[in-house]
Amino acid sequence: MTTTDEFAQLGAPLESSSSPALKFEVLAKCSTTKARASRMHLPHYTAHTPMFMPVGTMGTIKGITTAQLRTLDCHVILGNTYHLGSQPGPELLEKAGGLHKFMAWDRGLLTDSGGFQMVSLLKLANITEDGVEFENPHNGKMMMLTPEMSIGLQNSIGADIMMQLDDVVSSLTTGPRVEEAMWRSLRWLDRGIKAHKRPTEQNLFPIVQGGLDERLRTISAQELTKRESPGYAIGGLSGGEAKGSFWRMVSLSTDILPTNKPRYCMGVGYAEDLVVCSALGVDMYDCVFPTRTARFGNALVRTGSMALRQGKYKNDFTPIDSECECSTCKNFTRAYLHTTVTKETTGCHLVTVHNIAFQMRLMRDIRQAIVEDRYPQFVRSFIKTRFGKTVPQWIVDALKSVNIDLTAPGADGYFATTVDEDFQKHPNV
């Protein structure tokens, strides 16, 4: 389960960029889509993209040790600035020498800014030009998170990649509030850049905003490219908007952002989203979904999600996935997992291991298909396995925009008919 040598046979980069704390090398490009395979040199690790980053909110992924994450070949994991800033707090993290040492993790770390949690989780959040005012859930006092404070916290945490504090609005919001948030996020970015105390050790990524408005997204992406950042994030999506709007905003952003720097689509983790967005030119993803759904007894497989709680698995003595090499699939049956999931922490742990392994394997397969310039064939095979004959319209439209026409018969005779649904309701069996 290692990717150490997966790019060993490739020659010089097709294009690259260098910053004090990040070197990005595009090593292979799909000749049909916007997909690319790259190497990203970070202070603590050299990651391969496209990659998925599991979310460890409090400096830990529930039920998983950092040794297991290394075995699963996770390159970068996420920490949450708001939660880490509350506990253990910046003072303790600085004494520990940063989050890497505190949690015994020697690979990449990315921290979000804390802004999303301010708005989505806390009471009485009030956004002003100064920052986000909110009620501290621990003592009830009003507090303020400013762009400078967010960067200060992230400097204490010491992650390889930090995110700017942005003015977060729901992806369903329309009207002048969206434009206000977009321009304010740019001003907050400039304040964050000035406050960044460790530019040779940590990378600050700005975030493309603008809601579902093409004009505002275009302005945001164009303005961000003027800042010469080491990489860029695409934010404000995966918030309940129609998937048809989602993919168009992603593709618009990747069309504008520099081709020689990494692009990170925030909050994306469904397998079909990873495959489609990689075709649209995205390099990095994160989401709580794979680990959160594991705690409800749901195992990820190529055909969808396997609800191990269901009685049909009571006497099923096969592994979750016979082709998966994770320790769960090598040692435990669906019947055993059916008995333990949602009842015992062991069951949650075992399914979490598998789900992370599933994501890592999918990303390796994506990278390999790009390197071998057979990504369109990989996509068609994946979609056929995932959905069968009926495929959500947004997937067909998104892939057609990068020259993969699922409605035209392929070499194996497979073609898709569209269905007006955003998500898969049942696994393809």
Look up residue 19 and give its two tokens: 């910053």
Q: Are 407 and 393 in contact (CB under 8 A)?
A: no
Residue keyed to tokens 């009926």 = 390
Helices (H), 1-146: 66-71, 81-86, 90-96, 99-102, 115-120
What is the length of the chain?
Answer: 429
Give dist(CA 24, CA 255) in Å, integer: 18
Contact 287, 409 (CB under 8 A): no
* Residues linked to residue 205 through DSSP beta bridges, in sequence order: 163
Please tell me the number of Cα atoms within 13 Å of 244 on its side-chain side.
Answer: 9
Q: Is 21 helix (H, G, I), strand (E, B) or coil?
A: coil
Burial 49-71 (b: 16+ CB within 10 A, else e): bbbbbbbbbebebbbbebebbee
Cα–Cα distance for residue pair 166/191, rounded to 1 Å: 11
Q: Which residues of 174-202 are buried (b: 16+ CB within 10 A; e: fewer)?
A: eeeebbebbbbbbebbebbbebbebeeeb
Q: How far is CA 111 from CA 79, 269, 403, in A?
A: 5, 17, 35
The CA-CA-CA angle for residues 66, 72, 76, to 5°, reads 65
End-to-end CA distance of the chain: 27
CA distance 37 to 31: 12
DSSP-assigned states of every residue in 246-271: HHHHHHHHHHHS-TTS-EEETT---H
Active site residues: 112, 286
In whole angstroms, give the CA distance from residue 154 to residue 160: 10
